């Protein structure tokens, strides 16, 4: 039975990934900050092979506890799904630096903390794959509208961090790939987004199934196109 660790598995894309992979018979390690309030994830855990892990991607101690709890377990796919957008309206002249620091902590350092803590679990699996959800807003080449400075910089930074991780982990046969899920109807994406979580995740799952070392260190759109850095 293949296995996947999903961060922020209690809501949005993370929850939808958990649902879809569970429906296909995968073993799910679902990480979230507050399992006691994650009612949708709790329902899924009652009916499927889902292990819920209390884990905050900004809290290294909680991440290490999660890794220790799964000691010896192989993880085929590590999916870094946790992310926040920060306060709205963040453009020159209206920067909230505390919010910016929090966004960087979650979106940039969070995936690296999790990947480092669980690298041995990934290394002992068959797939040996780390997938990080990034954003088209993190593409420097694609930035023609400005604004969203904290969010954009956090995603550009995680792109670079995972590009380096791909090089660092290549000798161990581990692939690190970045994916843009598109504009999705989630709490972050809002109601006007053209994609539902189900549509985005289904497309991303098809893409993830193709990933290997030849894709490591690259950035893909959910439809399979390689995205400009």
Tokens representing 47 are 């009916």
List the catalytic residues. Answer: 151
Q: Is the dihedral of CA 35, 41, 45, 50 positive or negative?
A: negative
Task: List strands edge to edge, sheet with 77-80.
Answer: 50-54, 27-32, 3-6, 77-80, 129-133, 175-180, 219-221
Q: Which DSSP string do the residues of the chain spell out, in sequence order?
A: --EEEETTTTSHHHHHHHHHHHHTT-EEEEEES-GGG-HHHHHHHHHSSEEEEE--TT-HHHHHHHHHHTTT---SEEEE------SS--STT---HHHHHHHHIIIIIHHHHHHHHTHHHHHTSSS-EEEEE--GGG-STT--S---HHHHHHHHHHHHHHHHHHHHHGGGT-EEEEEE--SBSSTTT-TT-SB-HHHHHHHHHHHHTT--GGGTT-EEETTSPBPP-
Residues 212 and 175 sit within 8 Å (Cβ to Cβ):
yes
């Amino acid at each position: 039975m293949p296995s996947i660790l999903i961060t922020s598995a209690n809501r949005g894309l993370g929850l939808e990934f958990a649902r879809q992979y569970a429906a296909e018979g995968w073993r799910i390690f679902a990480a979230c900050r507050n399992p006691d309030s994650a009612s949708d994830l709790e329902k899924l855990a009652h009916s499927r092979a889902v292990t819920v892990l209390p884990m905050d991607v900004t809290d290294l101690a909680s991440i290490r506890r999660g890794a220790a709890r799964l000691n010896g377990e192989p993880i085929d796919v590590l999916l870094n799904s946790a992310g926040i957008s920060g306060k709205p309206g963040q453009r020159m002249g209206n920067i909230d630096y505390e919010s910016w620091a929090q966004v960087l902590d979650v979106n940039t350092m969070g995936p690296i903390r999790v990947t480092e803590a669980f690298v041995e679990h990934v290394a002992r699996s068959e797939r040996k794959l780390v997938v990080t959800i990034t954003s088209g807003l993190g593409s420097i080449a694609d930035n023609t509208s400005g604004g969203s400075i904290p969010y954009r910089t956090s995603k550009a930074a995680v792109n670079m961090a995972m590009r380096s991780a791909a090089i660092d982990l290549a000798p161990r046969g581990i692939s690190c790939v970045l994916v843009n899920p598109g504009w999705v109807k989630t709490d972050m994406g809002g109601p006007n987004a053209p994609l539902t979580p189900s549509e985005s995740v289904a497309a991303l799952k098809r893409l993830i199934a193709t990933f290997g070392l030849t894709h490591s260190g690259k950035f893909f759109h959910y439809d399979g196109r390689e995205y400009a850095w």
